[in-house]
């Protein structure tokens, strides 16, 4: 009988330990499943070393192409000072042409002015009227 009592007491003492162990195993299974899910999502998002090398090489090619295009633009680019010199030359030509026009207008105005034009027109009209009146 003492063996039965000792066995019953042993069972009662060991049962909570067995329950805790079973609970720990269930928790470990749940954690294992969530860890597997996390790792698989991490692996899906991960970039391999080969892909990183390819991306690095691609960006180096892009950088060289961009630098080449910039260098080409800079070599073909005319400096601003040269543009300003050409524009100043155009301004000087325009000023010179305007001065010549003003001189020609002044010279023509002083030689044959508006008054002279009106007098010539009146003389011409008088002559035409005389010719008409003299015709039979």
Q: What is the pLDDT of residues 14-66, one digit of tens each?
A: 788 888 888 988 888 888 888 888 888 877 788 788 888 999 999 999 999 99
Asked whether residue 33 is domain-assigned, the answer is yes
* Mean pLDDT of all residues belonging to the chain: 87
Asked whether residue 61 is domain-assigned, the answer is no
**Alpha-helix residue ranges (DSSP H) falling in 2-112:** 2-45, 49-76, 80-111
Asked whether residue 59 is domain-assigned, the answer is no
The two tokens of residue 32 are 């294992």
Asked whether residue 21 is domain-assigned, the answer is yes
HSE toward the beta carbon, residue 50, CA cutoff 13 A: 0
Q: Identify the band that residue 81 occupies on the pLDDT scale cut at 50, 70 and 90.
A: confident
| pLDDT of res. 136 | 66
In this prediction the pTM is: 0.35
Q: Please, what is the end-to-end C-alpha distance for the chain in angstroms?
A: 177
- Structural domain of 27: 1-46
pLDDT of 75 higher than 90: no
Per-residue CA distances from 96 to 44, 57, 103, 108, 115 (Å): 76, 60, 11, 18, 29
Question: Cα(66)–Cα(19) distance, rounded to whole angstroms?
Answer: 68
Q: Which range in 13-17, 92-96, 129-133 is most confidently predicted, on average pLDDT?
A: 92-96
How many structural domains does the chain have?
Answer: 1
């Amino acid at each position: 009988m003492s063996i039965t009592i000792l066995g019953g007491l042993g069972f009662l003492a060991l049962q909570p330990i067995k329950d805790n162990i079973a609970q720990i195993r269930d928790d470990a299974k749940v954690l294992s499943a969530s860890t597997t899910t996390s790792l698989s999502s991490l692996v899906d998002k991960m970039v391999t070393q080969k892909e990183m090398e390819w991306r690095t090489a691609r960006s180096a090619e892009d950088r060289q192409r961009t630098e080449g295009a910039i260098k080409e633009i800079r070599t073909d680019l005319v400096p601003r000072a040269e543009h300003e010199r050409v524009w100043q030359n155009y301004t000087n030509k325009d000023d010179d042409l305007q001065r010549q026009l003003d001189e020609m207008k002044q010279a023509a105005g002083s030689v044959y002015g508006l008054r002279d034009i009106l007098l010539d027109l009146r003389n011409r009209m008088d002559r035409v009227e005389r010719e008409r009146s003299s015709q039979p």
